[in-house]
Amino acid sequence: MRIYIAGPVHGVPYSEAVDRFKAAEQYLYGRGDNPVNPMKMFDVSWSQEKLMRTATPNIFDCDGVYMLHGWKADTRSKLEHFIALKLGIKIELEK
């Protein structure tokens, strides 16, 4: 399955966000999925809005969304969750 990784990027240290998304990507690869890591699609200097316009549309090509801890406090992650709900694609919460 093609799984989009969603989670907080702005408001947390950049290196921490990179590490969390990378760990999720490795976890998803390990179980046989094809992860889509939005951290690989943008520059750290981008605004939340530019990231949303660039990365978020990738959800439409995915079979599911993997929500990292802290997603409820992040505007982009809440939007990605909403899109997944409306598309009827699988949503999985990080354990």
pLDDT 10s digits, 23-75: 999 999 999 999 999 988 877 777 778 877 888 889 999 999 999 999 999 88
Residue 1 tokens read as 């399955």
d(CA 37, CA 51): 12
| Domain assignments of the chain as residue spans, ordered by start | 2-93
Beta pairing, strands 64-67 & 90-93: parallel
Q: Which CATH architecture has domain 2-93?
A: 3-Layer(aba) Sandwich (3.40)
Rg for the chain (alpha carbons), in Å? 12
Residues 45, 21, 9: CA angle, nearest 5 degrees: 35
Indicate the pLDDT class of residue 4, thresholds 50, 70 and 90.
very high
